[in-house]
Amino acid sequence: MSTPAETVVAEQTTTQDRLVHRLTHFLQYHWRTLVLLVPFLWLLLFFLAPFFFVLKISLAEYTLKSPPYTDLIQWADEGVMQIRIVVDNFAYLWDDDLYVNTYLSSVKISTISTILCLLIGYPMAYAIVRSNHTTKHILLMLVILPFWTSFLLRVYAWMGLLNDQGLINDILTGMGFEPLRMMYTHFAVYVGIVYTYVPFMILPLYANMEKLDWTLLEAAADLGAKPMTTFFTVTLPMTLPGIIAGSLLVFIPATGEYVIPDLLGGGNVLMIGRVLYNEFHQNIDWPVASAVAIALLLVLVIPMMLYQHIQAKEVESQ
């Protein structure tokens, strides 16, 4: 004979058991769905969905309410739904020289920075690949190390160096030259971007060169090619995938860069990331900020898709 209390306990354990059983059963048969669904839903909600809000607000009008934009869907008096789409924001961007110039200036700055990174990074990557085992590891470490330290602080470090009374000007005046104005110029922005992004050029180049068969160079030399000819006919074509990957990794983030032009370029350097940030935070014009974002995406969509394509191929080839 069992007391009522015992029966309750027994019942509880059976429900518990049943729950555990159901859970294990579910995991056993549906874990794949779970594995897929969790990150999938996360990305749908926090990555894809937000873009629709950007798109939606870029088509709305600025108002003084909070939030400062009009609804696309409005209810007229008799319950008739109206959809108001305003392309004024985009027209405004197009008509205003400031925006057009900013886009052009951004693309120009990031293109030149990418080329500079390539010119500096290529010999570096080449030297890393061709050096002996220990040196290779030390050099790689030295390239990667700054990446782990704060990006903001590294840009800040340049504020000290480029300052009117900074180290570089100290050395210049010490040698009897006139001090240079470097802070808040395009030069400072180039230095900042190249400094920040050169590891992103070196590492893909290194990864690409590391896999190459270097005896091909000897074969070319053996067949009578001069060093320059070998470089342009063998080395450069072989390392092209690395060059493209590295260039995209510099070009894409540099185009939308905000911190570097803000800290080092001041008001003299027009870059789109900075305009977007200010439009949003200072002017509180969300519709225009959203339109700027959409337009920036349009500028970057081709390089971004190219990079994804390369990335996917890379994973497949492994």
Partner 1 sequence: MNARLSTFLITSVCFVIAFLYVPIFMLIAYSFNYSKLVPVWGGFSVRWYEKLFFDSPEIWEAVVLSLKIATVNACFATILGTLAGLALVRFGHFRGRTLFTGMISAPLVMPEVITGLSLLLLFIWLQNSVGWPNERGFTTITIAHITFSMAYVAVIIQSRLAGMAQDLEEAAQDLGAKPLRVLIDITLPLLAPGMLAGWLLSFTLSLDDLVIASFVTGPGATTLPILIYSRVRLGLRPDINALATIIILVVAIGVLLAAWIMFRQQKQRELELNMSEET
Pick the piece of the chain touching partner 1 (CB under 8 A) from 9-17, 82-90, 238-246, 271-279.
271-279
Q: Is 300 in the site for partner 1 (CB under 8 A)?
A: yes
Question: Could you tell me which stretch among 5-13, 14-22, 85-93, 146-154 binds partner 1 (CB under 8 A)?
Answer: 146-154
- Check binding of 195 to partner 1 (CB under 8 A): yes
Positions 250 through 269 that interact with partner 1 (CB under 8 A): 252-253, 255-259, 262-263
248 Cβ neighbours under 8 A, 6+ residues apart = 303, 306, 307, 310
Residues from 74 through 93 that contact partner 1 (CB under 8 A): none
Q: By CB under 8 A, tell whether 296 contacts partner 1.
A: yes
Asked if 159 interacts with partner 1 (CB under 8 A), we say yes
C-alpha separations of 240 from 39, 121, 122, 218, 245 in Å: 34, 14, 11, 19, 9
Instruction: Tell which positions 196-215 bind partner 1, by CB under 8 A.
Output: 198-199, 202
Residue whose CB is less far from partner 1, 241 or 303:
303
In the list 86, 120, 225, 244, the residue contacting partner 1 (rule: CB under 8 A) is: 120
Considering only 23, 142, 216, 236, the residue that binds partner 1 (CB under 8 A) is 142
- Which positions from 170 through 189 interact with partner 1, judged by CB under 8 A? 170
Kindly state the smallest distance separating residue 66's Cβ from partner 1, in Å. Answer: 9
Asked if 160 touches partner 1 (CB under 8 A), the answer is yes
Q: Print the SS3 string covering the chain.
A: CCCHHHHHHHHHHHHHHHHHHHHHHHHHHHHHHHHHHHHHHHHHHHHHHHHHHHHHHHCCCECCCCCCECCCEEECCCCCEEECCCCHHHHHHHHCHHHHHHHHHHHHHHHHHHHHHHHHHHHHHHHHHHCCHHHHHHHHHHHHHHHHCCHHHHHHHHHHHHCCCCHHHHHHHHCCCCCCCCCCCHHHHHHHHHHHHHHHHHHHHHHHHHCCCCHHHHHHHHCCCCHHHHHHHHHHHHHHHHHHHHHHHHHHHHHCCCHHHHHHHHHHCCCHHHHHHHHHHCCCCHHHHHHHHHHHHHHHHHHHHHHHHHHHHHHHHC
- Residue closer to partner 1 by CB (options 88, 159) is 159
User: Is the Cβ of residue 146 or residue 186 nearer to partner 1 in the bound state?
Assistant: 146
Site for partner 1 in 29-68 (CB under 8 A): 31-32, 35-36, 38-40, 42-51, 53-54, 57, 67
The reply on whether position 227 binds partner 1 by CB under 8 A is yes
Work out how close the CB of 304 gets to partner 1 at its nearest, in angstroms, rounded to a whole number: 5
Rounded to the nearest whole angstrom, what is the least distance from the CB of residue 127 to partner 1 in the complex?
Answer: 4
CB of 14 to partner 1, least distance (A): 25
Q: Does 154 participate in binding partner 1 (rule CB under 8 A)? A: yes
